[in-house]
Amino acid sequence: MNLGQSVTAARGEFRSRLGFILAAAGSAVGLGNIWGFPTQAASNGGAAFLLTYLVLAFVLAYPALMAELLIGRHTHRNMVLALESLPAMTSLKVAGRLTGVAGLITASLILSFYAIVAGWMLGFSASYPLGAAGLTSASEWLTSFAPSRNLLLMLGFMGLTMAVVLGGVENGIERWSRRLMPLLIATLVALSAYVLTLDGALVGLQTYLLPDFRKVVSGDLLLDALGSAFFSLSLGVGTMLIYGSYLSDQENVPRVGAQVALVDVGIAVLAGFLILPAMYVAEARGVAIFNEAGGLLSEDTLIFTVLPALFETMSTSGVWLATAFFLLMSIAALTSSISMLEVPVAYLIEKFGLSRRRATVVAGLCIAMFSAVIVFNFGSLFGLVITISTRYSQPILGIAVCIFAGWIWRRDALLQELRKNDTDAADSLFWRIWPFYVKWFCPAIIGAIVIQSAL
Ligand code: TRP
């Protein structure tokens, strides 16, 4: 038995195509889609933002997603070993390793703040039933901002994430994605159907669906839409690469990748049908959603003040609605956080031969510890970690991955990879367009946007 075989034999693999699509879409669909996308659409000209986002998701984010999935599937390794194994030259191998390590650190940083926010979602979802049962002080504790509550909820959420990752690819990630994703979609549809029947919902719908093109030319629309699409598809840090590495050689990667992107965008668009109407329903009930300058209140104010205020006006149905809404957010966060934790876990397993159990505990505890540092230095660290990891590190790593796929990966090896499941790959539209795209277009556009946002 050669080494390659023994490594593959020990690795997990998604059992079914649907399992993979749900897991990858689960990674992609998170707080970013359900909360970030609709609120940004609301403050960036509604449908105008929606259109820009759709275009960017397919011309820019999809090719970058394909770069990660294909490299992952080709090497069947985690990001560090994958990027190291693509080039033949030693100096490029070092560059690959460093890029991989930077991806691993970025994924861990993203998880360290994501777990805090996700913990709030858990707290809010438990607080409504507790309040209704008369346990007012517990309910208030869960929703009031304090380091002890932030810490405890973060640890609870990290515990859930570790529990799923501990199960491995098939029994943890795939199984839970298959259970949670349908639940998420059903909750989303039911909630928006209900909210659309309330007074004021129509104004929200109008804002969402009628484009205000003045906003397209002004402001940060393009930047926001790109950042949104990139964060939403979990790009740059090796989460999609590692999921791709668990994909069977029989699958047609361009096709399943497109399906993942479609589900991701679809759920973001669907979430708009819930969040925007809900905001205007709140306004119709006298809850302020705009600031004095006429702009929308900030995203966190909207979710943790405006929505609870809306639920308050609804008596019993409000309790149900609130619980369902925050559970929805918690589920979306969990299917994403497992993909982030899998990045360092897979590395520890494959590089140092740790058992999955040990790797999950080591990586999970390290990230939870760093997250605790953020909790106790919230004012100075929280925003900083978000900015560094998502505004700079993620897109820059995205460029690096495109460079590895477009410039360093040999064309014939790439074609061979595509031919694994499609003998006519050389004649496909994908083959004619994509290599050029990842080589020139993606790095240039992402680079321009990073530079613009840094200025
Ligand atoms: N895409 C997820 C969301 O929309 C978050 C996410 C998961 C992510 N894995 C990631 C973001 C890796 C950046 C990098 O919320």
- pLDDT confidence of residue 217: 58
Mean pLDDT of 43-64: 84
Whether 24 shows a pLDDT value over 70: the answer reads: yes
Pocket flag, ligand 1, residue 239 (CB < 6 Å): yes
Binning pLDDT at 50, 70 and 90, where does residue 8 land?
very low
Within 285-314, where are the H helices? 299-301, 307-312
Total count of domains within the chain: 1
Q: What is the pTM of this model?
A: 0.92
Gap from CA of 199 to ligand 1 centroid (Å) = 34
Residues 6+ apart with CB under 8 A from 41: 47, 49, 50, 53, 208, 272, 276
Give the pLDDT confidence of 90-136 residue by residue, as tens digits: 999 999 999 999 999 999 999 999 999 999 999 999 999 999 999 99
Mean pLDDT of 295-323: 84
Mean pLDDT of 339-367: 97
Residues 370, 33 contacting (CB under 8 angstroms): no
Neighbours of 4 (CB within 10 A): 9
Kindly state the helix (H) or strand (E) to which residue 144 belongs, with its residue range.
none
CA 337 to ligand 1: nearest atom? 7
Residues 265, 52 contacting (CB under 8 angstroms): no
Give the pLDDT confidence of 416-454 residue by residue, as tens digits: 999 998 888 888 999 999 999 999 999 998 888 788 777
Strand partners, 290: 296
Pocket flag, ligand 1, residue 200 (CB < 6 Å): no
Whole-angstrom distance, CA of residue 446 vs CA of residue 451: 9
Backbone angles phi, psi at 342, to 5 degrees: -60, -25
Structure tokens at 363: 């990586």
Gap from CA of 338 to ligand 1 centroid (Å) = 10
Nearest to 40 by CA among 308, 221, 215: 221
- 3-state class of 194 per DSSP? helix
Pocket flag, ligand 1, residue 234 (CB < 6 Å): yes
Mean pLDDT of 278-284: 89
Gap from CA of 319 to ligand 1 centroid (Å) = 29
Q: Which residues of 176-204 are buried (b: 16+ CB within 10 A; e: fewer)?
A: bbbebbeebbebbeebbebbbebebbebb
Mean pLDDT of 29-40: 86
Residues 382, 372 contacting (CB under 8 angstroms): no
- 3-state class of 296 per DSSP? strand
First to last CA, the chain: 54
State the chain's mean pLDDT as an integer: 90
Kindly state the helix (H) or strand (E) to which residue 286 belongs, with its residue range.
none
Ranking 3-12, 188-197, 241-250 by mean pLDDT, the lowest is 3-12
Mean pLDDT of 158-172: 95
Pocket flag, ligand 1, residue 30 (CB < 6 Å): yes
- pLDDT confidence of residue 422: 86
Ranking 114-128, 178-192, 213-227, 243-257 by mean pLDDT, the lowest is 213-227
Gap from CA of 134 to ligand 1 centroid (Å) = 36
Pocket flag, ligand 1, residue 32 (CB < 6 Å): yes
- pLDDT confidence of residue 298: 76
Mean pLDDT of 9-38: 88
Residues 158, 360 contacting (CB under 8 angstroms): no
Mutate to test the pocket of ligand 1, among 68, 330, 340, 392 (most ligand atoms within 8 A of CB): 340
Residues 354, 10 contacting (CB under 8 angstroms): no
Gap from CA of 344 to ligand 1 centroid (Å) = 15
Binning pLDDT at 50, 70 and 90, where does residue 220 land?
low
Q: Which whole-number Å values give the CA distances from 232 to 28, 242, 416, 427, in the listed order?
A: 5, 17, 30, 31
- pLDDT confidence of residue 4: 43
- pLDDT confidence of residue 243: 95
Residues 6+ apart with CB under 8 A from 54: 265, 269
Give the pLDDT confidence of 378-426 residue by residue, as tens digits: 999 999 999 899 888 998 999 999 999 999 999 889 999 999 988 888 8
Q: Which whole-number Å values give the CA distances from 210 to 205, 228, 328, in the listed order?
A: 8, 20, 27
Mean pLDDT of 221-233: 77
Backbone angles phi, psi at 330, to 5 degrees: -65, -40
- Residue 47's domain comprises 3-454
Gap from CA of 115 to ligand 1 centroid (Å) = 12
- pLDDT confidence of residue 6: 42
Gap from CA of 428 to ligand 1 centroid (Å) = 30
Gap from CA of 234 to ligand 1 centroid (Å) = 4
Pocket flag, ligand 1, residue 126 (CB < 6 Å): no
Give the pLDDT confidence of 190-219 residue by residue, as tens digits: 999 999 999 999 999 998 888 777 766 555
Gap from CA of 300 to ligand 1 centroid (Å) = 18
- The string of DSSP codes covering 398-431 is HHHHHHIIIIIS-HHHHHHHHHTT-TTGGGSHHH
Mean pLDDT of 145-158: 97
Pocket flag, ligand 1, residue 398 (CB < 6 Å): no
Whole-angstrom distance, CA of residue 208 vs CA of residue 210: 6
Pocket flag, ligand 1, residue 237 (CB < 6 Å): yes
Pocket flag, ligand 1, residue 26 (CB < 6 Å): no
Binning pLDDT at 50, 70 and 90, where does residue 65 land?
very high
Backbone angles phi, psi at 286, to 5 degrees: 90, 5
- pLDDT confidence of residue 33: 84
Structure tokens at 339: 């993909």
Gap from CA of 131 to ligand 1 centroid (Å) = 32
Ranking 146-150, 229-233, 451-455 by mean pLDDT, the lowest is 451-455
Neighbours of 353 (CB within 10 A): 10
Backbone angles phi, psi at 353, to 5 degrees: 65, 20
Pocket flag, ligand 1, residue 28 (CB < 6 Å): yes
Ranking 8-12, 31-35, 262-266, 350-354 by mean pLDDT, the lowest is 8-12
Whole-angstrom distance, CA of residue 229 vs CA of residue 221: 12
Gap from CA of 233 to ligand 1 centroid (Å) = 6
Mutate to test the pocket of ligand 1, among 39, 40, 65, 110 (most ligand atoms within 8 A of CB): 110
Strand partners, 296: 290
Pocket flag, ligand 1, residue 110 (CB < 6 Å): yes
Gap from CA of 2 to ligand 1 centroid (Å) = 36
Pocket flag, ligand 1, residue 341 (CB < 6 Å): no
Residues 357, 349 contacting (CB under 8 angstroms): no
Q: Which whole-number Å values give the CA distances from 327 to 126, 163, 324, 333, in the listed order?
A: 9, 18, 5, 10
Whether 19 shows a pLDDT value over 50: the answer reads: yes
Comparing 226 with 429, the larger pLDDT belongs to: 429
The CATH number given to whatever domain includes residue 401 is: 1.20.1740
Mutate to test the pocket of ligand 1, among 235, 237, 239 (most ligand atoms within 8 A of CB): 239
